[in-house]
A and B are shown apart, each in its own frame.
Chain A
């Protein structure tokens, strides 16, 4: 069976299926003894809390303990207990009472929006675990096994992923999801071989041996234990060899391609210091602004940026200014209730209404750059026109930052890349959004994953136009979307004229290896075939 490979590597192991969410049976039993029924419900909730607390104490993943403890706290909430007690008094059996009580709090939090609405996932986790216990069904979530396994799920939720570790899970296969889904991004950040959008995976049996190829998207069934051992041995050798691959990115005939890393916070910057890459091609700055009621002050931003810049050790860092709106709303900047947020006031567009957030950020970046003497490039997200590119680049220069560029995420900007380059210093293609806008397919719509495939010739056409405009202008054009992390696609992008690739840190070695074995002419041939819709992959 085949899906979309989203993180390379070929490993074999037994299938362990993600526990499904328990469903209440159709037939609704009565309550004979309300007091006993209440005890049943509260005991089950306490067991859920204890289980979460035990996992919080044991998890080696940074940040996971806090998430698990917060969820345990919900299971011990006295108001929840009160709501359950009153539902049971009205004749609801324990599992139904919990479902009903959680539902009421769910609505309350959703209504408050923002951070509170995000806690709904924790509430659902408490509901599912407790209801499963009461109904005698298997625990939902990532299964517990003594030996490493291939995790097979319908799709993964953010809450599932905080306890996912590579010592337990050797590969991921999901029925749904796409190349930019949460699962795909998580797999790449962990370097875990993964296949998404694999509908046949629904039929995989618990414990069945499978081999997963995260490059081709192939999931092999009927694997013998000998085959599995051979596959895993080959993978270990490949990983060992990968550690040996070093140095700047180049093709077999010496054509240089900068290999850069995407980071999203200060911890990412510390990791980059250890990665063999030429710098950071995308520093997302949203983490500074999330979960806040007001924008951070210039001083606060300066100290944070300076800390990140110091980690670069003379290597380049491309900072993307705040990309709020759409899936990343902020109370002080974005408007709620836009009918179509992906097409609304997001990215650079928020500066039309509130320019201070952007000018504060540029001021802080300029001060941090002077303090650290780092090589800082700054770019804006969601730019559509040459006038916007000029306005932003001029603003960057006026703050004393020498290099300002823009992202190419909107087809209009790709079509007029040559015009944009008259006014700006570099371009960086965000393939995830460019695919979404070119194919008119929502990034979050798993069933449209085929349309969001970065091999779509229309998307490659726009990348080619942008890259060729860059070559003509003698300016840098990079790709910083998930497409850059694909060892199969990287040579195609280089063949289209792209000069740098920025990806998650775990992908760099594979992409470097993929480029090292092809010449620039090979890359151009592969690009021509891909544009013709006949890729040799």
Chain B
């Protein structure tokens, strides 16, 4: 089981467009990825409803987990999306 901790970089948190980009990235991976916040239960990273319901805000740490071949690379790809600030007007 590969695990990755990452801080939410988006200014508005994992909502709206940042959440959609995250779910798209997770859906594109060959392995199944889960995401959890703090001690909460891990949820399917391909589920926009579950991801929104995490209520992850800017600066929160989330934990991404995956199993199987290419898990580390897959986590790396989606972690980048979580860490970015998509609202940066620049």
Is chain B found bound to chain A in the same assembly? yes
Q: Which residue of A lies closest to B47 (CB)?
A: A79
B18 to chain A, nearest CB (A): 11
Q: Is the CB of B23 within 8 A of A116?
A: no
Q: Is the CB of A115 within 8 A of B16?
A: yes
Decide if B30 is an interface residue (CB 8 Å cutoff). no
Q: Which residue of B lies closest to A106 (CB)?
A: B49
Given contacts A112-B55, A293-B57, is CB(A77)–CB(B16) below 8 Å? no
A-side binding surface: helix, strand, loop or mixed? Answer: helix
Q: Which residue of B lies closest to A331 (CB)?
A: B57
Stretch in A68-76, A128-136, A137-145, A415-423 with 4+ CB within 8 Å of B: A68-76
What chain B residues lie within 8 Å of A51 (beta carbons)?
Answer: none
Q: Is the CB of A74 within 8 A of B48?
A: yes
Q: Is the CB of A291 within 8 A of B12?
A: yes
Q: Is the CB of A73 within 8 A of B52?
A: no
Query: How far is B58's CA from A502's CA once the two chains are assembled, in angstroms?
Result: 38
What chain A residues lie within 8 Å of B28 (beta carbons)?
Answer: none
Decide if A441 is an interface residue (CB 8 Å cutoff). no
Chain A 286-326, CB-CB to B under 8 Å as 1, else 0, gives 00000111100000000000000000000000000000000
Q: Is the CB of A292 within 8 A of B12?
A: yes
Question: Known pairs A79-B44, A293-B13. 18 more at Cβ < 8 A?
Answer: A66-B17, A69-B20, A73-B48, A74-B48, A77-B49, A78-B46, A79-B43, A79-B47, A79-B49, A80-B49, A109-B49, A115-B12, A115-B15, A116-B15, A116-B55, A119-B52, A292-B12, A293-B58
Which of B15, B24, B47, B58 is within 8 Å of A78, CB to CB? B47
Decide if A455 is an interface residue (CB 8 Å cutoff). no
Q: Is the CB of A291 within 8 A of B16?
A: yes
Given contacts A79-B44, A293-B57, A293-B58, is CB(A70)–CB(B16) below 8 Å? yes
Q: Which residue of A lies closest to B48 (CB)?
A: A73
Decide if A61 is an interface residue (CB 8 Å cutoff). no
Decide if A108 is an interface residue (CB 8 Å cutoff). yes
Query: How far is B50's CA from A105's CA once the two chains are assembled, in angstroms?
Result: 9
Q: Tell me the residues in window 70-120 of chain A with beta carbons closer than 8 Å to chain B beta carbons.
A: 70, 73-74, 77-80, 105, 108-109, 112, 115-116, 119
Interchain Cβ contacts under 8 Å between A and B, 18 examples: A70-B16, A70-B48, A73-B20, A73-B23, A73-B48, A77-B47, A79-B50, A80-B47, A80-B49, A105-B49, A109-B52, A109-B53, A115-B16, A116-B53, A116-B55, A291-B15, A293-B58, A294-B58
A366 to chain B, nearest CB (A): 21
Q: Tell me the residues in window 18-51 of chain B with beta carbons closer than 8 Å to chain A beta carbons.
A: 20, 23-24, 43-44, 46-50
A63 to chain B, nearest CB (A): 11
